Amino acid sequence: MDTDEVKTYYLSYFRKLVLFACKYVGDMDLAQDLVQDVFVSLLNKPVEKIENPDAFFYTATKRKCLDHIKTQTIRSAHHENILSVSESVFHDDAVEKTELENHLLSIINELPGKCKEIFLQSRFEGKSNLLIAEEMQLSKRTVETQISKALKKIREGLTGFKNILLTIF
Amino acid sequence: MNSKKELEILILRNFLGDLREDEKKILSQWLDASPENRQHQEKMLSSWQDGKLFRDWQRIDLQENWEEIIEKAQQEQTKTLRLRPVLKYVAAVVFLILCSVWMVNYYANTSIANDTPRPMAVLLPDGSQVWLRQDALASFHERSFKKDRSIEIEGEAFFEVQKGEVPFIVLADEGKVEVLGTTFNVRENESSTEVLLLEGSVRFSAAGSEQILKPGEGAISDGRRIQVIPQVNVNSVGWKTGVFRFSNQPLREVMEVAAGYYGFSHEMSKAVEDLRVTAAFNKNSLSEFMEELSFILGIEIKATENKLTITKE
């Protein structure tokens, strides 16, 4: 497998895997670092072909995380707990959760600029529609339309995703 | 029956405020069914609250991360390339240890110290001779001496060097003397190294500079610079040569100089310390020396087991 192929996998998996690793190590920066290592090993010890990319990448990431946790001298009870869990990823709730979360995050991220901004302020910053309208110098009506447009996109995206999930898991 | 997945999607959509009435009903029924279900919801939403998850996720820079991956991969490759040489180093270190053990045995330093009061003559492997003054120490490699003619000195030593192709090197703390064949004296103490040349020619180097000495000259180095002594006092090497010339010198000094050659220890009364001596000695025996001094100065010298006691007559 050459660098270009690795990069293709990288582009479709990196964010998901970071999200996944984050569930183990609880820190986004550290998670990025660990997932980087997954791709580093892939570049340096080339694999001919990856049969099941989902299984391959999630397992590799999980192993990296567990290795990291093991090498930490101070282990919290929480980590001990994770360590005692079986390594098989496909019984792992975290994978499914990651897929779902990542999918939702992607949908939100792909909303058109203004629509996304309004939606984020409304849902994550707890601002009222009126406040958003004032701040962005829009009518309250426009804000409401943009939010419902965003929700529609999300709903559609998640419905499609539900079907994918049912076939994968 | 709704699958767990579908319910999780409902939970998220509910969080974003996008549930129809019938969907809300399904969700609340499920939530009411057991406290575990409520816990599950809380766990799911904890990362979504306040939008931190989204911000962190958005912050992931794919370009930057890819560059870091490429960099790490290259570093790791050079590391694995270096790993084999590491084994070589281990082998090299083991080899060196074995070699040095062998060399320590083979080139074991010969050290000779003079703990007697009289000068001690040491014949070196190349035929040169060293006289060590009391408490002086010479060390050299017995086996390689003919090849490098290098000797280390602590304290004071007198050299008669055989002519040879290889320079004869005397190493002292504050300087180095190189010669081809000559007679000279080296005195090393804690702060300085002094060389006095009697015959031939020597190169004295110390502190990055060097000085070629002519017979009768001396030089002293304190480790910072070399100072030349134009006329060596013959008494300086009297401890070896037995040749002394005193000119109006206090008896105290005379006895100290002579003690190096005759190897006596001594004590004297205050009354005689400052008596002036003008005399010459040339390899005289100790009794001749004592007799002469007694005669000149009108003092009494009593000898008991190598200790001289000097008093006014």
Backbone angles phi, psi at B200, to 5 degrees: 75, -145
DSSP-H helix ranges across chain B: 4-15, 21-33, 35-46, 52-59, 62-106, 145-148, 238-241, 251-262, 270-273, 286-297
Find all residues with CB under 8 Å of B87, minimum gap 6, and list them: none
For chain B, say whether A15 makes contact (Cβ under 8 Å): yes
Q: Do B223 and B129 fall within a single domain?
A: yes
Distance CA B129, CA B126 (A): 9
Could you read off the pLDDT of B38-93 as tens digits, one per residue?
888 888 887 787 778 888 888 888 899 999 999 988 888 777 666 666 777 787 88
Domain definitions of chain A by residue range? 1-89, 110-169
Q: Are B226 and B209 in contact (CB under 8 A)?
A: yes
Q: Which pLDDT does position A32 carry in this prediction?
A: 93
Range of the domain at B10: 4-59
B23 touches chain A (CB under 8 A): no
| C-beta separation of B312 from B270 below 8 A | no
Say whether both B69 and B143 belong to one domain. no
State pLDDT tens for residues B131-155: 888 888 888 888 788 888 889 888 8
Q: What percent of chain B has pLDDT over 90?
A: 2
Residue A165, CA distances (Å) to A20, B16, B40, B282 in order:
16, 20, 19, 114
Is a pLDDT exceeding 60 seen at residue A46? yes
Nearest CA-CA distance, residue B92 and chain A, Å: 29
- Cβ-Cβ contacts under 8 Å, B48 against chain A: 101
CA of A162: which chain B residue's CA is closest? B6
Element (H, E) at A69: helix A53-71
Same-domain status, B187 and B90: no
| Angle value at C-alpha A61, between A70 and A58, nearest 5 degrees | 135
DSSP code per residue over B126-186: TS-EEEEPTT-EEEEETTTHHHH-EEEEEEEEEEEPPP-SSPEEEEETTEEEEESS-EEEE
CA distances from A40 to A3, A7, B14, B54, B74 (A): 10, 11, 39, 26, 9
Pairing mode, strands B168-172 and B150-160: parallel
The predicted structure's pLDDT at residue A17: 92
The DSSP result for B170-189, as a single string, is EEETTEEEEESS-EEEEEE-
Q: Which residues pair with B216 in a beta bridge?
A: none
d(CA B184, CA A112): 97
The Cβ-side half-sphere exposure at B210, using a 13 Å CA radius, reads 9
For position A145, what pLDDT does the model report? 92
CA atoms of B229 and A127, how far apart (whole Å): 95
B88, two tokens? 């070589």
Instruction: Phi first, then psi: give them for residue A27, nearest 5 degrees.
Output: -145, 125
User: CA distances (Å), B208 to each of B53, B149, B204, in order?
Assistant: 68, 21, 11
Per-residue b/e over A100-129, b at no fewer than 16 CB within 10 Å? bbbbbbebbeebeeebbebbbbbbbeebeb
pTM of the model: 0.48
CB atoms within 10 A of CB B243: 15
Nearest in space to A148 (alpha carbons), one of A118, A127, A128, A110: A118
* B121 and B71 assigned to the same domain: no
pLDDT score for A37: 92
Summarize pLDDT for B244-275 with one digit per residue, the tens. Answer: 888 888 998 888 888 888 888 888 888 888 88
User: What local confidence, expressed as pLDDT, does residue B34 receive?
Assistant: 87
**Residue that the structure tokens 């004592």 belong to:** B290
Q: What is the pLDDT of residue A169?
A: 45
Are the beta carbons of B47 and A32 separated by less than 8 Å? Answer: no
Virtual torsion, Cα B64, B66, B69, B73, nearest 10 deg: -130
Sort strands B265-268 and B307-312 into parallel, antiparallel or unpaired.
Answer: parallel
Domain count, chain B: 4
B210 in the same domain as B132: yes
A113: nearest Cα among A149, A156, A73, A72 = A149
User: Mind telling me how many Å the CA of B51 is from chain A's nearest CA?
Assistant: 5
Q: Which of B47, B80, B106 is the last residue of a domain?
A: B106
* Helix orientation angle between A140-168 and A93-109, rounded to the nearest 10 degrees: 150
- Rounded Cα gap, residues A66 and A23, in angstroms: 11
Do B39 and B101 sit in the same domain of this protein? Answer: no
Do B47 and B115 lie in one domain? The reply is: no
Q: What is the CA radius of gyration of chain B?
A: 44
The CATH number assigned to the domain holding B274 equals 3.55.50.30
Interchain contact A108–B (C-beta under 8 A): yes
pLDDT-wise least confident of A31-35, A60-64, A97-101? A97-101
Q: How confident is the model at residue A80 (pLDDT cuts 50, 70, 90)?
A: low
pLDDT digits (tens, 9 = 90+) for B9-44: 888 888 888 888 888 898 898 889 888 888 888 888
B118-134: pLDDT as tens digits: 888 888 888 888 888 88
Q: Are B249 and B304 in contact (CB under 8 A)?
A: no
Q: Do A120 and B51 touch (CB under 8 A)?
A: yes
Burial bucket for residue B216 (CB in 10 Å: 0-12, 13-18, 19+): middle
pLDDT at B311: 87
Selected residue of B11, B56, B59, B61 to mutate for chain A interface (largest A Cβ count, 10 A): B56
Helices B4-15 and A140-168: angle between axes, nearest 10 degrees: 170
Q: Under CATH, to which class is A110-169 assigned?
A: mainly alpha
The C-alpha atoms of residue A116 and residue A45 are separated, in whole angstroms, by 41
Indicate whether B1 pLDDT > 50.
no
Per-residue pLDDT reduced to its tens digit, A115-155 = 999 998 888 888 899 999 999 999 999 999 999 999 988 88
Q: Are B6 and B36 in contact (CB under 8 A)?
A: no
Check: CB of residue A119 under 8 Å from CB of residue A111: yes
Does one domain contain both B101 and B139?
Answer: no
B8 and A37 within 8 Å at the Cβ level: the answer is no
| C-alpha distance from A74 to closest chain B C-alpha (Å) | 24
Whether B139 and B211 map to the same domain: the answer is yes
Q: A30-63 as b/e, with b when 16 or more CB fall inside 10 Å?
A: bbbbbbbbbbbbbbeeeeeeeeeebebbbbbbbe
B230 and B114 belong to one structural domain: yes
Q: Angle CA(B166)–CA(B172)–CA(B176) in degrees, nearest 5?
A: 45
